[in-house]
Chain A
Amino acid sequence: MKQESGVRSQESGNRGQGAVPNPQSLIPNTQSRKHSIIGASPQRIEGRAKVTGAATYVDDMQFGPNLLHGMIKHSPMAHAIIKRIDVSKAKALPGVRVVVTGEDFPGFTGLYLKDRRLFALDRVRYVGEAVAAVAADTPEIAQQALDLIEIEYEPLPGVFDPEFGASPAAPLVHPDLANYECVPFIFPQAGTNISNWFKVRKGDMDKGWAEADLIYEHKYRVPHVQHVPLETHVCVAQQDAGGGKITLWSSSQSPFAQRNLIAKALHISHSKLRVITPYVGGGFGSKAGLSIEGAAVALAMGAKGRPVKLRMTREEEFYTTFVRQGLVAHIKMGMTREGRITAMQNTFYWDGGASTEYGTNITRAAGYSGTGPYYVPNIHVDSLCVYTNHPVGGAMRGFGMPEIHWGIEQHIDQMAEKLGLDPVQVRLINCLKDGDETLTGMTMHPTGLSQCIRKAAEAIGWTSPAPGSGRSPTGPNGGTIGRPAPAADSHKRRGKGLAAMWKAPAMPPNPGSSATVRMNEDGTATVSIGGVDIGQGALTAMAQLAAEGLGVKIEDVRVNTVDTDYSPYEWQTVASRLTWSMGNAVLQAAENARYQILKTVAEAWGEDINDLDIIDGEVISYRTEESRPLRDLVIYGLQRPDGTWIGGPVVGQGKFMPEYVTPLDPQTGQGPRAVVHFTTGCQAVEVEVDAETGEVQVLKIVSAYDVGRAINPDMVRTQMEGGAVQGMSTALLEGIILQSGVPKNPNFTDYRIATSVDAPPELESIIVEVPQDDGPFGARGIGEHPMVPTAPAIANAVYNAVGVRIDSMPITSEKVWAALHR
């Protein structure tokens, strides 16, 4: 194995600089004790509320007849100067209580780059941008008021393609880019539309190309897609009369980040803003950061104490909050005839839309993951975040990874075919192994990626050709697997394909989690967290960790939804980071509560703390075999032999923040530790393609992921299943059609998502567990990953079935048919 510029391990488990210590623990470590709830699959703790209709979402909350109805006036223009706004007629309409425009709130906001206003001020940059907002007594009056707002626009030439947008010929979408505030790891290019440029320069490209037996270059496209949570964005804001405290009830993945962004944008104290998030009807990234909530608060500030509700219609949801960014990817790869990758030169042009306050970090994540999950000695990656006059790109499940893997994973298959190699073997040769150096110079931690590839291939019935046969199984009609094949005269063709993936939590280096575990009089525990259960099962996973750490039954643990006035801090519910990061905080809080309890008992009973334990809500002594239920002591304490008392209400606390992520060199992208860790995996699919119509049906998806440790294996599988079908849906059906910036299909008839009849007949989920050194019980995240490789796996299977390669998502019947008849 060559050791050019990077380090390739010999699979010896060399941890190098990547190793991190466990988070400090206050007591003998729960993780080394025998555990019963971790790795079990208790049912969802809020399941009953959700199946009875009792679960309360924001729009279900009751605010009484005083409630005002907010609506947003959107720009109909993709790019234009605002010449004049006249709101006088709207203000004069009876029943209209508040009208706000950009002039009322001129400041900038943004998560990573402050390039967004609550309302457009001098120019609009996309169709759907908020220009003004109204609050009125009824929705009907609010709608009338919107119609009465007069706006005069002067159209400007637009940018509707990221490659053009990155060129000097393009008009500037943000002429003031140079003056915008941003975090230190984002690199805007002044005087251009490039709001972030992430570079990787590693090894010697000339050498890499020279060593290759095959060099192949191809371009791949991914359209904008929408998250489609079934619950659209909705929030209610209210300010105590007289300019007092503001409360925001928000369907959000990020109550604390919203509080932070709004407080800063409006120059108010964080303690004067309270964000409450009840149940959330799906997010998939769209409800991360801030979108409509600032406008609701702005309206509430003029509403004299009345609450204002702002709820997006389904049409608004499609393009006025966040979308997934589009991508044009140029992939160039060199490979030896044995299948070893010698070099990769990848350029990603991200269609960031009119604001890239969030998207800049997606392009960064794409940059530091830009080779896919492979060891590559010579690397040149450019990930360019480009302003366009398209809807605003934001976080979406996978955070850039489904988009870049679409090209990389198809490219691997094409290279393998051209060289007559088995794509599974090519992936196994090149995939990152323990101790390998990643493209940014980080040492890869122990990972089950090879296992995932092998298991997924085996489960789909992959048959590798005999060595030296020269036949590639990825070629047309590579074969069928274990189900009845279509009749020979049928026009249906079967094929199978596979794709691997990696993804790190993409976030600032230091996002924090905290938690409390409070004991109640009856011996039950209340866990408070700042992360949100958006359907992924966080409440249940946290209940399991608290129950395990404390020594109580899961039925005796309650987990609160978020209220920033009472919940401890959590950065955001993103990056598949809650089980890992918030889980560490909850476990630590539970262990802290347990320590407080045992210390009290030890002192009251005159025992050594090491002889005591808590099992199923009872403190027991291994020495005396005495036991006492928690309800007797966790609030009132215990009486000592002399009649005095010890102890008192037990409140455990815990926190977690990674302390080891390092900056990367802006010119080379190199640094010791780019990210906290990578979750890796592989999907294999079988499809049936109708050669007469081009229609693709997915028959089976196998998902295999290394989750470190499955806290709740059944819920891990539900993430894999849901992600696989969402990935399949984007692969075959989805894409926002934008014509000169105008969305043409913002509804479920013209923008189809997978339904019950589209879902594959068979989904198989395989859990691989190579523990994460700093995860609770070894766990790492799995929320986003299951949709990352689905689309390229399907594309590879379609090629296998009918020999056509679809390089632009989605793989529609029309494209397949046209390619077959070319």
Chain B
Amino acid sequence: MNHSIHFTVNGERYDISVPAHHTLLQVLREQLVLTGTKNGCEAGECGACAVLIQWPGGARPEPVNSCMVLAPEADGAEIITIEGLAHDDQLDPLQEAFIATGATQCGFCTPGILVNARALLDRNPDPTDTEIREALVGNLCRCTGYVRIIDAVKLAARAGKEVGR
């Protein structure tokens, strides 16, 4: 059975028909061809598919594993994916920081970590090491050992403070 839903993704409005059993991850990757969001486990255990979602009536975007959201549930939501993090070729300070600190290796976990870290800095612009580690505990990375990722989030937080973001 299909559902007609509408939502915005990275500011673009979509009115689409989705199979009831498809996840938001499938819709983003297969129907919208926004493939920056990755499929790592389809069980909500690795964080590679994380996106930001502001539910109807919600106060702010919050990170979710898009493999754990059924597409019809996203009706009326505002969604931000990795493709929506930069603005007009201007990278998000987190993206700049990930490049500068060498926080990405194979890159497969990077989109999910970036959107999750964005949500962290939006609610807590000056997180401690412990707060960063706890915020990212659901995002598995097998390459970096996490230390550069934590450094990158701290660097972006400092950069954000400097520009008054």
A contact set with B: CB distance below 8 Å: 43-44, 46-57, 59-60, 62, 227-232, 279-284, 313-314, 534-537, 714-715, 718, 721-726, 747-749, 753-757, 759, 761, 763
Picked from B39, B110, B139, the residue with its CB within 8 Å of the CB of A756 is B139
Q: Are B132 and A756 in contact (CB under 8 A)?
A: yes
Contacts of A753 in B (CB 8 A): 140, 142
CB-CB under 8 A from A537, the residues of chain B are 105
- Whether B125 is near chain A, meaning CB under 8 Å from some CB there, is no
Nearest CB on B from A317, distance (A): 9
Residues in chain A near residue B146, CB distance under 8 A:
725, 754-756, 759
Write the nearest CB–CB distance from A311 to chain B, whole angstroms: 8
Across-interface contacts of A761 in B (CB, < 8 A):
129
Q: How far is the CA of A229 from the CA of B83 in the complex (A)?
A: 23
State whether A749 and B144 are in contact (beta carbons under 8 Å apart), knowing that A52-B83, A229-B108 are contacts in the complex: no
Q: Which of A52, A56, A723 has the most CB of B within 10 A?
A: A52
**How many Å from the CB of A225 to the closest CB on chain B?**
12
Please tell me which one of the listed residues B83, B143, B150 contacts residue A282 in the complex, with CB atoms under 8 A apart.
B143
**Per-residue interface assignment for chain B, residues 39 to 55, with 1 indicating a CB less than 8 Å from any chain A CB and 0 otherwise:** 11111011010000000
* CB < 8 Å neighbour of A43 from B46, B100, B107, B114: B100
CA A282 – CA B109 in complex, angstroms? Answer: 10
B46 partner residues in chain A, CB cutoff 8 A: 230, 314, 748
Contacting pair B145 A759 (CB below 8 A): yes
Q: Is the C-beta of B23 less than 8 angstroms from some C-beta in chain A?
A: no
Q: 30 pairs across A/B with beta carbons < 8 Å?
A: A44-B104, A48-B91, A50-B107, A50-B110, A51-B99, A52-B83, A53-B34, A53-B82, A54-B36, A57-B108, A59-B29, A230-B40, A230-B140, A231-B106, A313-B42, A314-B41, A314-B43, A314-B46, A536-B105, A537-B105, A715-B102, A722-B144, A725-B145, A748-B45, A748-B140, A755-B146, A756-B133, A757-B134, A759-B146, A759-B150
Give every chain A residue within 8 A of B6 (Cβ-Cβ). none
Q: A53-B81, A281-B38 are in contact. Are A763 and B147 (CB under 8 A)?
A: yes
- B102 near A43 (CB under 8 angstroms)? yes
Chain B residues with Cβ below 8 Å from A748 are 41, 43, 45-46, 140
Contacts of A62 on B, CB cut-off 8 Å?
Answer: 33
Q: Does B8 belong to the interface (CB within 8 Å)?
A: no
The answer to whether B142 and A228 have CB atoms under 8 Å apart is: yes
Interface of A is mostly: loop
Among A54, A231, A283, A747, residue most surrounded by chain B Cβ atoms (within 10 Å): A231
Instruction: Please tell me which one of the listed residues A48, A721, A724 contacts residue B148 in the complex, with CB atoms under 8 A apart.
Output: A721
Residue B137 interfacial (CB < 8 Å): yes
CB contacts (< 8 Å) of A280 on chain B: these are 106
CA distance A267 to B117 in the complex (A): 50
Q: Are B99 and A721 in contact (CB under 8 A)?
A: no
Closest-by-CB residue of A relative to B129 is A761
Q: Indicate the member of B37, B39, B138, B143 with the most A CB atoms within 10 Å.
A: B143
* B76 CB, nearest partner CB in chain A, Å: 24
- B82 contacts A756, CB within 8 Å? no
Query: Could you say which residues of chain A place their CB within 8 Å of the CB of B105?
Result: 282, 535-537, 718, 722
**Mask: chain B, 145-156; 1 = CB below 8 Å from A; 0 = not:** 111111000000
Please indicate the chain A residues that have their CB under 8 angstroms from the CB of B91 in the complex. 48, 51-52
Add 14 more A-B contacts to A53-B82, A59-B35 (CB < 8 A): A53-B35, A230-B106, A230-B109, A230-B141, A231-B40, A536-B105, A721-B145, A721-B148, A726-B145, A748-B41, A755-B138, A755-B139, A757-B133, A763-B147
Quick check: B95 and A51 within 8 Å, CB to CB?
A: yes
Contact B36 A52 (CB under 8 A): yes
Q: Are B40 and A53 in contact (CB under 8 A)?
A: no
Q: Counting CB contacts under 8 A, is B16 at the interface?
A: no
Q: How far is the CA of A313 from the CA of B139 in the complex (A)?
A: 18
Docked CA distance A231–B35 (Å): 13
C-alpha spacing A57/B147, complex, angstroms: 25
Say yes or no for B20: interface residue by CB 8 A criterion: no
Chain A residues with CB under 8 A of B114: 51
Least CB distance from B59 to A in Å reads 26
